[in-house]
Amino acid sequence: MIGLLDTLLVLALLTTVGLYVFGANRFAGYIGMAAYAAMTVIVVLVGQTLSGGETAVPSAMAFTVLGYPMTWRIDGLGWFFALLTTGAGFFAAWYMSGEWNEAQPNKRIQHGTLALNVLAMLLLVSSGDFLSLFIGWEIVSWAAFAMMTQLGGPAATAALRYLLYALAGAMALFAGILIVRSATGSFAFEDFAAAVPNLPTATKWVLFVLFTAGFGVKMAIVPFHLWQAPAYSFTPGASSSFLNAVSARMGLFALTLVLIKLMGPALLAGMDIAYTWFDARSALLWLTAITMIVPTYIALMQTDARMLLAWHGIGQGGYMLLGILVGTPLGLAGGLLHTFNYATYQMALMLAVFAVVHRTKTADLDELGGLITRMPFTYITLLMGIIGLAGLPPMNGFVSKWMIYKSLLNTAQPLLLIAAFIGTLGTILSVYKLIHNIFLGQLRLEHREVKEAPLSMLLPMLTLAGIGFVTGWMPGLALSMVDIAQSALGIGLQPHHLGGVDLPNGSLNMLWVVGVLIAAIGVGALIFYFLGNRRWEVSQYDNYAGGHFLSADVRYHFSHEFYPGLARVIGPWYRGWVVKMERGLQTLVAVLGDLSGGVFRFAHTPFYLLVAVSLGLLWVGLFGKI
């Protein structure tokens, strides 16, 4: 019987071709939804086989070219990311199935590229050895490029910038896998895992740097993070939310696979940097700490809603990597769970923002305000999303962040805990700015007749927010999925129950925490309704303005530069070193280009010929004898 993995890949291929061909007609969205739903079902079946004791589900697909064998199989880790991919694809297609799609210029390309991305990611996560990993990696980065460059103009430049970063990363990765091959004789994971402990430290360091850099570009770890925000923001709605939710996490999959599963955190910890307390693992940990803080405070300063959320995507990536690199089962479970949680609330947030853009034609936070009365359900989605993004109790974001903090506490790393907490504070500030500038405050004159987003857009958003809430209340559901992934990594599982995690020195039971919170809010509601007279709702113009009469032609609203005090304190800290480094690199290439172009135009070839001959003979005469 044809294996599960093969059916999955074939189905993904058929969806890609089918959606590209039938992308234009009205039911393309529904076809996509059905296809991605089927894929998700298959992935769940794979999950069952895996949880039933199988280490991996093999695929019949295998080639050997020029003596290099390539195999494909999906293990627990790959399965977890495959589930995220097909899930995100399903919600993106659902969002595209309704009214939102009619307004889009190039429906076929959007549907086609979304399906192509899902196919590419499934290929990547089911790679069996380094060569298929590299091939999958390349196809994923090119599929993402195709998706980003649809709208042309700023999108095209952002996509080109992404492409150069991705290619540089891919070349580093290419060098990495070739060094692996020359060091261990083959591309297989098992051989590398066996051989790596006794490799010379120099090759170990080279491999570590190359793999971290190669995968780090896609994960947008700090030095390589400049491309992600504009590239993800200028992509059209549903695809942008798909990219935000899942695309950057492919980097995390690969990093986890190589650094944790194959090399192992102990080995990384062993690779000390001379004359410092740091070793490979702690150096990377501090890089993720910076990745948590710097992008979050850049997000704080954004005035475009999509850019703000995209910058947060980079910050949240730092949390996941932090959890995974801590190395304890609790930290690993926290990191992987955060990947799942992040996918749910980030997609809900992006879909909500694009619903607002769909209705008000702008994502600029200074042009919006007071939409809560016009778009209440979008408001609810955004509210649940930001509670998740900020990591506050009722939502799932809190559970994974708590596990990461607890693992940091148990391994006695206070400074990292402080860095993570500073990142969370920055997130809380910027998400409040997001929801305040769009939904709260005075409604603008031109938005008086704005209607609520259509049902076809609301349902996916609310379902995602619902998933976030349910997995927040009962994290056990998500943790069981994380177990399958963690079992493949060989670090050991983190025992958990439906409500959360029980540890000797401080446990978390979300059933009680969220249960009591909801009950307490119920008590608050009772107090509100029974103690005190009935409420009387007044218009936004019946407001205290120091005795001044408010009227619609004067905008009585505070949203521009929302944190002036903070901006004055941390404003000077934004020196944009990384931006300067990037521009420096560009000018270096341009100068080299001018130089070599000049050489070709400087003189005619015979002159060079004579110079070359004379120098060559001189060289031969002097050095040839040795």
Partner 1 sequence: MTSGANTLVLPIVLPLLGAFLLPLVARFGDGLARALGIVLVVVNIFLGWTLWSAVGTEAAVTALGGFEAPLGIVLYGDRLAALFVAVLAVGALIFWPRAEHGGVKAYTLTLLLVAGGSGLVLSGDLFNIFVFYEIVAVASYGLAASSGDKAGFGAALRYLVLGALGSSLVLIGIGLVYAAAGTLNLADIARLAPEKLSGTTGLAAFLLLVLGFGVKAELFPVNTWVPEVYAAAPMRVTAILAGVVSKLAMVVILRLLVLVFHDPAAISLLMAVAIVTIVAGEFAAYRASDLNRTFAYSSIAQLGLVALALTIPATAGILAAIAVALHHAVVKPAFFVIAAKWRGPLAGLAGGARVAPAAAGLFVLLALSIIGIPPLPGFWAKLVLLGGAFDAGGAYAFAAAVVLAATVVEAAYLFRVVARIWQPAAGAKPAHFAFSDLSPALLLGVILIVATLFVAPIGTALSGAAASAADAGSYVARVLPGRM
Partner 2 sequence: MTGSEKVPVVTDQPETCRVADAEEKSLLRKVMDNFADHCRSRSLFVLHYCTGCGAIELPPTITSRFDMERVGVSPMVTPRQADLLLITGYLSVKTLKRVILSYEQMQAPKYVVGFGSCTINGGMYWNSYATVKRLDQYIPVDSYIAGCMPRPEAIQQVFLDLMAKIDAGKATAWQDYYLNYDAYLGRQMNLFGQDWHTPTDVVAEAKHYGYVGNGTTGEHTALLDQRATWSLDTVPELYPARGRNERSRP
Partner 3 sequence: MLELFADLVLMPLIAFLFGLVLVLMARRVRAKIERRVGPPVLQPIYDIVKLYAKKTQISHGLMHDVSIMMLLGGFITAEIFLPVPGLDGLAAEGDLVTLVYIMMVPMLGLALGVGSCANPNGSIGISRALTSMLAYDVPFVVVIAGALIHYGSSNLIDVVRIQQEGGVSTWGVTTMPLLAFAGLIAMHGMLGKEPFELYIAPAEIATGPMVEMSGKYMGALFVMQCFQFYTVGVLYVTMFLGGGEMWLTFLPKVAAVIFISVAITNVFGRYKTEDVIRWMWRWPTAIGLVGLAFVMLKVN
Does 135 contact partner 1 by CB under 8 A? yes
Whichever of 185 and 492 has its CB closer to partner 1, that residue is 185
Nearest-approach distance from CB 60 to partner 1, in angstroms = 16
Evaluate whether 336 touches 485 at the Cβ level (below 8 Å): yes
The two three-digit tokens of residue 408, written as one number:
């940091």
In angstroms, how far is the first alpha carbon of the chain from the final one?
67
The two three-digit tokens of residue 124, written as one number:
């990547």
For 14, the enclosing helix (H) or strand (E) is helix 4-22
Choose which of 175, 269, 429, 511 interacts with partner 1 (CB under 8 A): 175
Provide the phi-psi class of 110: left if phi over 0, else alpha when psi is between -120 and 50, else beta: alpha
Q: Which residue type does 491 have? A: I
Nearest-approach distance from CB 553 to partner 2, in angstroms = 4
Restricting to residues 537-566, name those near partner 3 by CB under 8 A: 537-538, 540, 542-546, 556-559, 562-566
Cα Rg of the chain, angstroms: 26
Does 525 contact partner 1 by CB under 8 A? no
Rounded Cα–Cα distance for residues 133 and 473 (Å):
36
The two three-digit tokens of residue 53, written as one number:
């004791």
Restricting to residues 343-382, name those near partner 3 by CB under 8 A: 370, 372-373, 376, 379
Rounded Cα–Cα distance for residues 397 and 390 (Å):
7
Q: Is 156 exposed, middle or buried (0-12, 13-18, 19+ CB in 10 A)?
A: middle
Q: Which residue type does 41 have? A: V
For residue 182, the partner it binds in partner 3, partner 2, partner 1, none, with Cβ less than 5 to 8 A by kind, is partner 1
CA angle (160 as vertex; 157, 163 as ends), nearest 5: 155
Stretch of residues binding partner 2 (CB under 8 A), selected from 334-342, 481-489, 543-551, 599-607: 543-551
Choose which of 541, 558, 574, 608 interacts with partner 2 (CB under 8 A): 541
* Residue pointed to by tokens 């559970």: 399
The contact pattern for partner 3, residues 426-465, with x = CB under 8 A and - = no contact, is x-xx--xx-xx--xxxxx----------------------
Stretch of residues binding partner 2 (CB under 8 A), selected from 348-356, 384-392, 411-419, 550-558: 550-558
Q: Is 58 exposed, middle or buried (0-12, 13-18, 19+ CB in 10 A)?
A: middle
Does 549 contact partner 2 by CB under 8 A? yes
Nearest-approach distance from CB 445 to partner 2, in angstroms = 7
Does 68 contact partner 1 by CB under 8 A? yes
The contact pattern for partner 2, residues 487-526, with x = CB under 8 A and - = no contact, is ----------------------------------------
Restricting to residues 247-286, name those near partner 1 by CB under 8 A: none
Does 10 contact partner 1 by CB under 8 A? no
Restricting to residues 576-615, name those near partner 1 by CB under 8 A: 589-590, 592-597, 599-601, 603-606, 608-609, 611-613
Whichever of 551 and 596 has its CB closer to partner 2, that residue is 551
Does 553 contact partner 2 by CB under 8 A? yes
Does 572 contact partner 3 by CB under 8 A? no
Rounded Cα–Cα distance for residues 539 and 541 (Å):
5
Does 45 contact partner 1 by CB under 8 A? no
Partner residues linked to 71 by β-bridges:
62
Evaluate whether 5 touches 78 at the Cβ level (below 8 Å): no
For residue 426, the partner it binds in partner 3, partner 2, partner 1, none, with Cβ less than 5 to 8 A by kind, is partner 3
Dihedrals phi, psi of 403, to nearest 5 degrees: -60, -40
Nearest-approach distance from CB 66 to partner 1, in angstroms = 4
Rounded Cα–Cα distance for residues 114 and 97 (Å):
13
Whichever of 103 and 521 has its CB closer to partner 3, that residue is 521
Partner residues linked to 56 by β-bridges:
75
For residue 2, the partner it binds in partner 2, partner 1, partner 3, none, with Cβ less than 5 to 8 A by kind, is none
Does 520 contact partner 1 by CB under 8 A? no
Rounded Cα–Cα distance for residues 189 and 120 (Å):
20
Choose which of 96, 123, 365, 417 interacts with partner 3 (CB under 8 A): 417
CB atoms within 10 A of CB 454: 15
SS3 65: strand
Evaluate the CA torsion angle 175, 176, 178, 182 in order and state its sign.
Answer: positive
The two three-digit tokens of residue 47, written as one number:
């999950």
For residue 134, the partner it binds in partner 3, partner 2, partner 1, none, with Cβ less than 5 to 8 A by kind, is partner 1
* Residue pointed to by tokens 């992040």: 342
Whichever of 26 and 448 has its CB closer to partner 2, that residue is 448
Residues whose CB falls within 8 Å of the CB of residue 618, separated by 6 or more in sequence, listed in order: none
Interface residues with partner 2 (CB under 8 A)? 445, 533-534, 536, 538-539, 541-544, 547, 549-553
Give the binding site for partner 1 (CB under 8 A). 63-68, 134-135, 138-139, 142, 149, 152-153, 156-157, 159-160, 163-164, 167-168, 171-172, 174-175, 178-179, 181-182, 589-590, 592-597, 599-601, 603-606, 608-609, 611-613, 616-617, 619-621, 623-626
